[in-house]
Amino acid sequence: MLDQQVLDLFKNKTVLITGGTGSLGKTITQTLLEYSDAKKIIILSRDELKQFEMSNVFSSLENGHKLRYFLGDVRDRDRLMMAFEGVDLVIHAAALKQVPAAEYNPFEFIKTNILGAQNIIECAIERDVEKVIALSTDKAANPINLYGATKFCSDKLFVAANQYSAYRKTRFSVVRYGNVIGSRGSVIPFFLKQRKSGILTLTHQDMTRFWITLQQATNFVLNCMCRMAGREIFIPKIPSMHISNLAKFMGKECEIKTIGIRPGEKLHEVMIPNELGRSSLDMKSYFIIKPSDNDFAQPDYWSEGKTCEEDFEYNSGTNPEWIDDEALILEAISSIKSEEALDFVEEMRLT
């Protein structure tokens, strides 16, 4: 799970999670409540209903009294300054994420994903937060849609923020991974709903995606927050999946239709573009993209890594590790824990 060094980081600390009512935010919250000795966990988000629903679930947990709910928007700098009072660690998970919505509402995404990121940076420095780790996406690597472009800018802001805080204690790093299994908008819940109609839709027969569960993503974020020195973009080594194989497994009695790639959609996920291969370190179980400038002391632990080849690219289509085994797919679906997912798992195990 999490080693003692990671748990020690959170001991007696106040942690703030932006976008904490989302799928990942809730998993991070539950993990910290169960395994760490954090003093307080603050959930900052815009939706009072989601906060109410989350509080109903988490209040029954043994350490549920450590939770605080703070209504606010990362666009609102003054509100962030209030929220960051006394905060030691920040996990920035708030973002607008829907690709089609970004194309029709571009400046709304800019205000949240870019201007909001800058607000996080400025408030963290002014409030002497120790560490900020921001969550990114594969779509920020060689972006082809506006959502990806805003997250690319956000990543750049967080990496560069370490220059502004050089003589202060605040450090900033980024975690980048692909679609999380079972998160809002991911393909498995989509297929579970489509099964009822007898038709599953694929956008392309050759499409691939990286494969990571909510708990794996949570553990990676918390581990990276422990080891980060600032400026790193962390990328987990995870397996890939052919979406067509997933569709065939989940829709064995369904018709599978290919409908064409949607605007802004990639055939394969890329988390390290080949232009950044020379700037990346292979750390055995994960990668680090180093900052483009070299005007800083490199952390000692980076020496444990090996520089990637000049044209290296971390791409879900050329990834050497794959999940095609039905037992592993079923295990991953069971991790979602929704009623539909658990019913599907039970159905598959009975057949």
Q: Which residues contact 253 (CB under 8 A, 6 or more apart)?
A: 198
Contact 41, 17 (CB under 8 A): yes
CA distance 2 to 9: 11
Contact 277, 309 (CB under 8 A): yes
Quickly list DSSP for 52-78: HHHHHHHTTSTTGGGEEEEE--TT-HH
Cα radius of gyration (the chain): 20
Q: 139, 151, 266, 290: which is the annotated catalytic residue?
A: 139
- Known catalytic residue: 156? no
**Residue 130: DSSP 8-state:** S
Closest to 173 in 3D by CA, of 252, 213, 243, 120: 120
CA distance 183 to 181: 6
CA angle 216, 172, 213 (to 5 degrees): 10
Residues with active-site annotation: 139
